[in-house]
Structure 1
Amino acid sequence: MLIYVDDLLITGKNSGMIEELKTIMHGNFKIKDLGQLKYFLCIEVVRNTEGIILSQRKYALELILDSGLGNACSVSTPLEQNQKLTSSEYDMHIEHRSDELLEDTGMYQRLIGRLLYLTHTRPNIMYDVQLLSQFMQTPKKVHYEAAMRVVRYIRKSLGEGILFSNKSRPNLVAFCDSDWAACPMSRRSVTGYCVKLGDSLICWKSKKQNTISRSSAEAEYRCMASTVEELVWLRGLTKELGIEHHEPTTLYCDNQAALHIAANPVYHERTKHIEIDCHFVRDQIQKGVVCTKHVSTKEQQADIFTKGLGTNQHERLKIKLGMKDESHSPT
């Protein structure tokens, strides 16, 4: 049972137990049974022959109209490829110039807040919103224009959401990737990963790393450690829900150097400063919790969480993540 203030969701395999729980709840509280789940906290639930699609169509439409982009042209990607955004402080101290600041800071902050909530069903804008949220204090006009581009991208397919397939096996699989020294201001790398239960996307993340990595292998390995940490937690959670994991969870990485560090028990000079991450990942591999495999960069699904991509690759990875548009989905 999921409770948010006075809204409740009840799910389970035994319909009799669900009815019994509702009877007990009704005997102690005044409740209203709204029947099968269709709408919850601005998230729409649509069932079709493939499974269940979670989307935020109504929420996205309200966001577009409030932004004044109801009649604007759509764009094919949420962020221009290779676009670098910097803070006003960086411009003044490093480049000795400053782009024009946005007069209404609150307007930008509200827009980013609304976009953050939209990432619950739109993982394909996760990286872009994560990047834009770094400039909440003193946003520039270029930041606001980039945020409005994300809104125009959302306009392209209002009913887009995540498909929870009814045909996939309940086994966990993960993809992790990093963009080395991606931040032009701090030279920190970006961690991106996603976890699937069968073919259904259940977890994703895009975040700037806490420390500076001195090589791409180190950045990838830190990303791998973060993903393994999430997998350990998810394996425990799914076990509580009755899903047993008899095989190690496969973790796909496209960096051969990071995979060699994970497989090689000998520490080299260049890996001493990431020794804790090395021990943690290897420990989970030896326990049989995870196993690492190489995947080509083109097939790396987590790539969408680390950088702005071109139109073709962005659309390709979005489909691989299991995203569907419920507006065009047969019921």
Structure 2
Amino acid sequence: MGNNDSHVAKFKEYLHSTFHIKDLGSPKYFLGIEIARSDKGISLSQRKFVLEIVSEAGLSGYKPAVIPIEQNVKLTTHEYDLDIPSSNKDPLLKDPSGYQRLVGKLIYLTMTRPDICYAVQILSQFMHMPKESHMNAALKVVRYLKGCPGLGIFLSRECDMGMTAFCDTDYATCPMTRRSITGFCIKLGKSLISWKTKKQSTVSLSSAESEYRAMAKTTCEII
């Protein structure tokens, strides 16, 4: 990329003479990401990838979910259930590979779908020994995606180069570690350029402390 067409053309000629490249023009589909251009900006989505996930999960005929994860859901590891009576235990999956593949695809999908980041960060904590409740929660995310497969990121052509950041946190909602979860998103003009949901590294002793940790993490990302 560059703002001098003649230099870009010369550089293409040099690359072609060395590596025998081919200029395919403006990208429309790359590594599962669909790219659409207009006078207003560039839209990035993974609609085809979402439909493939829904089909592979066998949920094509299911009713879409309104939200990706239930509010205040408490998913735990297998070790956390050892003291629970066997009649109430949540059994481990016999073959965890299906869960691992599904969550891996959902992690890749967060590149253009910040709306599922919170749910995916929870599901990704149980890759080693997933339980039936974890798989059900993952399928809930797929059902949510089924209802809105074309959502994505829009990079607006109009940009005042002003940066805006938003952050928030819960307080000690992890039932195993009592750590809080930080979530933030950063916009350049009208365009979303960075987002993340991650468990905090230490236990906060108050909701105010967890909020300050979220602000500090967001400030580091801005810098």
How far apart, in 2, do the equivalents of 1:48 and 1:59 lie?
A: 22
- Measured against aligned partners, the alpha-carbon deviations of 1:212-266 in whole angstroms (never above 9, x if no partner) come to 000111111111111111111xxxxxxxxxxxxxxxxxxxxxxxxxxxxxxxxxx
Map 1:193-204; keep pairs closer than 5 Å.
193-204=184-195
Could you tell me which amino acid in structure 2 is paired with residue 222 of structure 1? R
How far apart, in 2, do the equivalents of 1:104 and 1:15 lie?
A: 54
Q: CA RMSD in A?
A: 1.3
Q: Report the equivalent of 2:3.
A: 13
- Measured against aligned partners, the alpha-carbon deviations of 1:153-202 in whole angstroms (never above 9, x if no partner) come to 11112211100011231121111111110101110000111111111000
How far apart, in 1, do the equivalents of 2:117 and 2:139 lie?
A: 15
How far apart, in 1, do the equivalents of 2:147 and 2:4 lie?
A: 40
Could you tell me which amino acid in structure 1 is paired with residue 160 of structure 2? R
Match of 1:217, SS? helix
How far apart, in 2, do the equivalents of 1:54 and 1:43 lie?
A: 6
How far apart, in 2, do the equivalents of 1:218 and 1:206 lie?
A: 17
Map 1:108-257; keep pairs closer than 5 Å.
108-232=99-223
Matched, 1:68 2:58: yes
How far apart, in 1, do the equivalents of 2:8 and 2:95 lie?
A: 49
- Measured against aligned partners, the alpha-carbon deviations of 1:47-75 in whole angstroms (never above 9, x if no partner) come to 12431110011111111111111222111
TM, length-normalised to structure 2:
0.95
Q: Shift of the alpha carbon at 1:110?
A: 0.6
How far apart, in 2, do the equivalents of 1:13 and 1:170 lie?
A: 18
Provide the identity percentage: 52
Match of 2:35, SS? strand
TM, length-normalised to structure 1:
0.65
How far apart, in 1, do the equivalents of 2:74 and 2:104 lie?
A: 21
Q: Shift of the alpha carbon at 1:12?
A: 2.8
How far apart, in 2, do the equivalents of 1:152 and 1:49 lie?
A: 33
How far apart, in 1, do the equivalents of 2:187 and 2:43 lie?
A: 15
Q: Report the equivalent of 2:13.
A: 23
List gaps (5 residues or longer) in structure 2. none
Could you tell me which amino acid in structure 2 is paired with residue 15 of structure 1? D
How far apart, in 2, do the equivalents of 1:14 and 1:44 lie?
A: 27
